[in-house]
Amino acid sequence: MARAKSGLDRRKFLSGAALAGAAGLAPRDGKTAPSQLEAAPQRPSALPPSAKLAAAEAGTPHAVPEGSGVPASDFMVDVIKSLDIAYVPCNPAQSFRGLHESLIDYGGNTKPEFITCTHEEASVAMAHGYFKIAGKPLLVMCHGTVGLQHAAMALYNAWCDRVPVIVIGGTDLNAATRPPGVPTFHSAQDIAALTRDFTKWDDQPISLPHFAQSFVRAYKLAMTPPHEPVLIALDTALQEEAVADRAKLSIPRYVPTAPPQGDGNAVREAARLLVNAERPVIVADKLARTRNGMMLLVELAEALQAPVIDQKGRMNFPNTHYLSQTAGGRALLAEADVIIGLELSDYWGTVNGYVDNGENGGVGLQESHIKPNAKLISISSVLLNTKANYQDFQRLQVVDVEMAGDAEATLPALVEAVKQALPDSRKAAIDVRGQALRKAWGEARERARQAAAYAWDARPISTARMSMEVYAQIKDLDWSSVGGDRQFSSWPTRLWPMDKHYHHIGGPGGYGIGYNAPAAVGAALANRDAGRFSVNFQPDGDLMFSPGVLWTAVHHRIPLLTVMHNNRGYHQEVMHVQRMANRRNRVASLGKDIGPVGTRIDNPAIDYAKLAGSFGMWSAGPIVDPKELAPVLKKAVEVVKAGEPALVDVVTQPR
Amino acid sequence: MKICLALAALLLGQAPALAASAEHGKAAFIQHGCWQCHGTMGQGSIMTSGGKRLAPEPLPWETFSAFVRSSNRAMPAYSEKILPDDDLADIHAYLQSIPKPDVNGIPLLKP
């Protein structure tokens, strides 16, 4: 079942390549294949490049600097190094070749180290996942225009998820000197226009001092909440200039900006409402960036003995704590008299319901989930964003106390204000509330355990079974779950004991498919440096957007256990199309599949183990019998513990 | 229709057996898309069925069939044109045939 990673014996590799080439020429009727010389085709399958094209691809667009001086891009490396950036996930391109060469030859390919990516979307998503573990941004370089177009969707995810990514887009600005043809196709007046709606800031420096200012400013803005991607459009010619006197150039010192906090009066008013509430509820989404953020939320919840509903945009609250009440969220909100939302992506959607049933003039049922007189409090840095086009700010929810500030940075003041405002007369009632929540926590855990037992032996394999088989193999390790689990009933965050800030990293932010696999590799890269074991449950549809990131994991020896949640479909869309067919009283056309036409990834089923194996990754599967999971996972865990990535393809229930 | 039933049966590791209502119900459960939200054994999901299970111990037939025909919440109603009465009855029989698991007999789910 398992396929061991093939050894990289050069002699065998070369002979294998020759055999593969010969096999490609074998006629289908089984006759002896002619030799390659005899079988020379009358017309080549790929025409040689024209002189113009060859010059455009290989030509030197600008004169090599003459005389004394150092390459300008060496100075750019000095600027980048001043910010202690660890890696540069990147697909190489001509427009930043100067900086590329400086990074690896002048900069020694360390801090930052070049990470070869096969797609710019993967580069950005790797940086996205990396930040959510390491708390530090990565630099991504991409070709202006075409590379940035590839990167755009991943940048939108990072934008929606409030994650900083520092992007350099190469562009050859001088129309009078840049080569015609391909380099000009890949240049634009304003490459940043493409992503300006979902980046926090951009600039196009025209000198080296300008670059130094812009890069440090970009880093600073990206790292000030709300954290967001930023972009520097970098002229190809500027990189390739010679600097006569390097000593005259200086690099601005980076000083972290204190994060914005909620207004003091508003904090005290929030505390007053919370301590006097009979049924306060805390809801957290993209709150905790650090262990400290998680512990502050524990402190707030314990001071109030208030339940916490974790929307899991981050690892906000330990699910082992009795105030973790996510399972009873809707009922708690319905009874709440005060609700505080901490960095919620969608406050309206938190306190209102939407049912996609075609009612209400076809737009679906919309109804409030809370009491009409419930008081609402919000702390969110997203109010400080001022972009208008993309609608990631969601529907407007009117709240009673609203603070434009970073919730994690505001929590110390809020915790203190709550402790000060809490009268002794309230403490007995609050303790009683805590006792009831302790009982509810135990009951919810038991319900989740019971629910996991259903379909335990099913084929396709139940997602609960898959989750617990994996947990059994890693529970004694210092593990980190680096993929989302929303798509398979959230089993890990419901059943695995999670009490460390790296135990899960939330989801993509903008729900753009193609995030999960590269973000997991990026997070695993950060975990590798911290000595942790990374595991990713990987949706099949998501993987196929950027499967090349598996090769990146192998090439750079990034240890990561990938377990395929292979339901062989775009399952969200399966259900949407079925719903539309029913609403229109039509039988959904299935074609030759078991889901509506256009929604299945089947016939043929993709062999993900073979796919991973082709990249040199240890892989196994497809696993269809749940009894086979344990031994295969055990082997895979050993591979990852030895420092390599591994993939196990599990054919699963839909959710 | 036949192709779909055969595929559904293949997925579940069973040959189509139209005479046996529970077995045919198993294939019909796939063919009519019930599995999409409820899982192939009616186990449900917090994401797609609000955590509600169809099996074991499904709703009584009258309640079950009335809900399927008239649901106006997240689950779309299935008219008889889309899901014939005979298939619906077989699906109910299939759900009735699913045994209840013993959670305490599963070592990986020990508290």
Specify the pairing of strand A533-539 against strand A561-566.
parallel
Cβ of B40 and A460 within 8 Å?
yes
Query: Lowest mean pLDDT: which of A331-345, A569-583, B21-35?
Result: A569-583
Q: Of the candidates B31, B46, B101, which has its C-beta nearest A456's C-beta?
A: B101
Q: What is the pLDDT of residue A52?
A: 56
**Is the confidence at residue A128, as pLDDT, over 80?**
yes
pLDDT band at B43 (very low <50, low <70, confident <90, very high): very high
Whether A290 and A259 have beta carbons less than 8 Å apart is answered as no
CA distances from A600 to A152, A325, A515, A574, B32 (A): 26, 35, 20, 8, 15
Given an 8 Å threshold on Cβ–Cβ distance, is A489 in contact with B106?
A: no
CB contact under 8 A, A574 and B30: no
Mutate which: A365, A456, A589, A633, vs B, most B CBs within 10 A: A456
Min Cα separation B63/chain A (Å): 20
Q: Give pLDDT, residue A592.
A: 87
Cα first-last separation, chain B: 45
pLDDT in tens, A270-325: 999 999 999 999 999 999 999 999 999 999 999 999 999 999 999 999 999 999 99
- Rounded CA-CA distance A454/B101 in Å is 6
Which alpha helices (H) appear in A488-534, and where do they start and end?
Answer: 491-495, 516-530
- Report the 3 state secondary structure along A608-621: HHHHHHHCCCEEEE
- The end-to-end CA distance of chain A, in Å, is 25
Q: What is the pTM of this model?
A: 0.89
- Residues of chain A positioned with their CB less than 8 A from the CB of B41: 454-455, 458
Where is A461: in which H helix or E strand? Answer: none
CB-based burial, A615-629: b 16+ in 10 Å, e otherwise = bbbbbbbbbeebebb
Cis peptide before A604 (omega within 30 of 0): yes
How many contacts does A have with B, using Cβ atoms within 8 A?
117
Phi, psi of A175 (to 5 degrees): -65, -20
Contact B33 A585 (CB under 8 A): no
* β-strand partners of A284: A310, A342
Give the helix ranges, DSSP H, for A34-109.
Answer: 51-58, 72-81, 97-101
Is residue A95 within 8 Å of residue A236, measured between CB atoms? yes
Q: Are A486 and A531 in contact (CB under 8 A)?
A: no
Report the C-alpha gap between A367 and A555 in whole angstroms.
51
Chain A CB contacts of B44 below 8 Å:
451, 454
Q: For position B50, what pLDDT does the model report?
A: 86
Measure the CA–CA gap between A512 and A124, rounded to whole angstroms.
13
Q: Do B76 and A460 touch (CB under 8 A)?
A: no
Interface probe with B: pick from A454, A537, A565, A627, most Cβ of B within 10 Å? A454
Which residue among B46, B101, B111 places its CB closest to the CB of A489? B46
**Is the predicted pLDDT of residue A13 greater than 60, yes or no?**
no
Q: Which residues lie below 8 Å from residue A299, measured CB to CB, with a gap of 6+?
A: A411, A415
Q: Residue A543 CA to chain centroid, in angstroms? A: 13
Token readout for A633 is 């996972």
Nearest-Cα distance to chain B for A583, in Å, is 7
Q: Out of A456, A488, A592, name the one closest to residue B106 (CB).
A: A456
What's the CATH fold of domain B2-99? Cytochrome Bc1 Complex; Chain D, domain 2 (1.10.760)
Chain B nearest-CA distance from A595, in A, is: 7
CA distances from A386 to A226, A228, A408, B41 (A): 11, 12, 21, 48
**Using 50, 70 and 90 to split pLDDT, how confident is the model at A407?**
very high
pLDDT score for A47: 52
Contact B81 A575 (CB under 8 A): no
- Taking an 8 Å cut-off on Cβ atoms, the answer to whether A458 and B40 are in contact is yes
Taking the C-alpha atoms of residue A63 and residue B92, their distance in angstroms, rounded to an integer, is 78
In contact, A142 and A500? CB cutoff 8 Å: no
Distance of CA A188 to the CA centre of its chain: 28
B59-97 in b/e form (b: 16+ CB < 10 A) is eeeeebbeebeeeeebbbbbeeebbeeebbbbbbbbbbb
Task: Give residue-wise pLDDT tens across range A313-323.
Answer: 999 999 999 99
User: Please, are residues A573 and A637 in contact by the beta-carbon 8 Å criterion?
Assistant: no
ipTM of the complex: 0.85
Phi-psi region of B106 (alpha: psi -120 to 50; beta: other; left: phi over 0): beta
Amino acid A575: pLDDT: 83
Q: Return the pLDDT at A24.
A: 33
Query: B39, A585: Cβ pair inside 8 Å?
Result: no
Q: What is the 3-class SS of chain B, one letter each residue? A: CHHHHHHHHHHCCCCCCCCCHHHHHHHHHHHCCHHHHHCCCCCCCCCCCCCCCCCCCCCCHHHHHHHHHHCECCCECCCCCCCCHHHHHHHHHHHHHCCCCCHHHCHHHCC
B2 to chain A, any CB pair closer than 8 A? The answer is no
The answer to whether the Cβ–Cβ distance between B44 and A454 falls below 8 Å is yes
3-state secondary structure A307-340: CEEECCCCCCCCCCCCCECHHHHHHHHHHCCEEE
Taking an 8 Å cut-off on Cβ atoms, the answer to whether A594 and B31 are in contact is yes
Closest CA to A595 of A622, A565, A568, A566: A568
| Among B residues 86-105, those touching chain A with beta carbons less than 8 Å apart | 101-103
Q: Are A325 and A284 in contact (CB under 8 A)?
A: no
Q: Which of A457, A582, A593, A624 to mutate to test the interface with B (most CBs of B within 10 A)?
A: A582
- Centre a 10 Å sphere on the Cβ of residue A541 and count the other Cβ atoms it contains: 22
- What is the least distance, in Å, from the CA of A529 to any CA of chain B? 31
Cα separation, B11 vs A454, in Å, equals 18
Whether residues A356 and B74 touch (CB distance < 8 A) is answered with yes
Chain B partners within 8 Å of A582 (Cβ): 76-79, 82
List, as ranges, residues 5-64 from B with C-beta within 8 Å of A.
7-8, 11-13, 30-31, 33, 35-37, 39-41, 43-48, 51, 53, 55
Comparing CB atoms, the residue among A468, A469, A582 nearest residue B77 is: A582
Q: What does the pLDDT read at residue B94?
A: 97
Q: What is the mean pLDDT of chain A?
A: 91
Indicate the angle between helix axes B21-31 and B85-97, nearest 10 degrees.
110
**Whole-number Cα distances in Å, A171 to A62, A96, A129, A155:** 13, 8, 27, 18
Question: Computed from CA positions of residues B79, B80, B83, B89, in that sequence, does the dihedral angle turn out positive or negative?
Answer: positive
pLDDT digits (tens, 9 = 90+) for A353-364: 988 888 888 888
Q: How far is CA A184 from CA A56, A146, A173, A187, A241, in A?
A: 9, 11, 9, 5, 19
CA distances from A124 to A171, B43, B58 (A): 18, 37, 47
pLDDT band, very low/low/confident/very high, at A573 (cuts 50, 70, 90): confident
| Separation in Å, CA of B103 to nearest CA in chain A | 5
Cβ contact, residue pair B108, A581, below 8 Å: no
Query: What residues does A650 pair with on adjacent strands?
Result: A565, A623
B25 and B92 Cβ atoms separated by less than 8 Å: yes
**Mean pLDDT of the A172-182 span:** 93
Whether residues B7 and A593 touch (CB distance < 8 A) is answered with yes
**A490–B109 C-beta distance less than 8 A:** no
- If phi > 0 it is left, if psi is from -120 to 50 it is alpha, else beta; for residue A327 that is alpha
Q: In the structure encoding, which two tokens stand for residue A519, read together?
A: 């973000």
With helix as H, strand as E and coil as C, how does A207-252 read?
Answer: CHHHHHHHHHHHHHHHCCCCCCCEEEEEEHHHHHCEECCHHHCCCC
Return the residue in B43, B54, B83 with the most chain A beta carbons within 10 A, the one to mutate for interface testing. Answer: B43
pLDDT for the residue A7: 36
| Structural contact between residues A172 and A236, judged by C-beta atoms closer than 8 angstroms | yes
**Do the Cβ atoms of B41 and A583 come within 8 Å?**
no
Look up residue A366 and give its amino acid. Q
DSSP A382-403: GGG----SS-TT-S----SEEE
For residue A522, give every residue at least 6 positions away whose Cβ sits within 8 Å of its Cβ, in sequence order, or none: A89, A125, A126, A127, A128, A129, A130, A131, A138
- Closest to A596 measured CA to CA, from B13, B46, B36, B91: B36
- Tell me the C-alpha distance between A597 and A402, whole Å: 46
Q: How far is B1 from chain A (nearest CA, A)?
A: 9
Find the mean pLDDT for residues A164-168.
Answer: 98
User: Residue B43 and residue A585: Cβ atoms within 8 Å?
Assistant: no
Specify the pLDDT at position A54.
54
**What pLDDT band is residue A53 in, cutting at 50, 70 and 90?**
low
- Give the span between the Cα atoms of A602 and A352, in whole angstroms: 37
Rg (CA), chain B: 14
Q: Any idea of the CA torsion for A382, B46, B82, B96, to the nearest 10 degrees?
A: 180
Residue A547: closest CA among A623, A417, A645: A645
Domains of chain A, CATH where assigned: 62-248 (3.40.50.970), 264-445 (3.40.50.1220), 454-568+605-651 (3.40.50.970)
**Distance between CA A160 and CA A153 in Å, rounded?**
11
Whether residue B13 is predicted with pLDDT greater than 90 in this model: the reply is no
| pLDDT level of residue A574 (50, 70, 90 thresholds) | confident
Instruction: Give A51's pLDDT tier (boundaries 50, 70, 90).
Output: low
What is the rounded distance in angstroms from the CA atom of residue A62 to the CA atom of residue A169?
18
CA dist B58 → A370, A527, A530, B70 (Å): 31, 45, 49, 17
pLDDT at A396 over 50: yes
Check A471 against B108: CB less than 8 A apart.
yes
Which residue of A449, A489, A580 to mutate against B (max B Cβ within 10 Å)?
A489
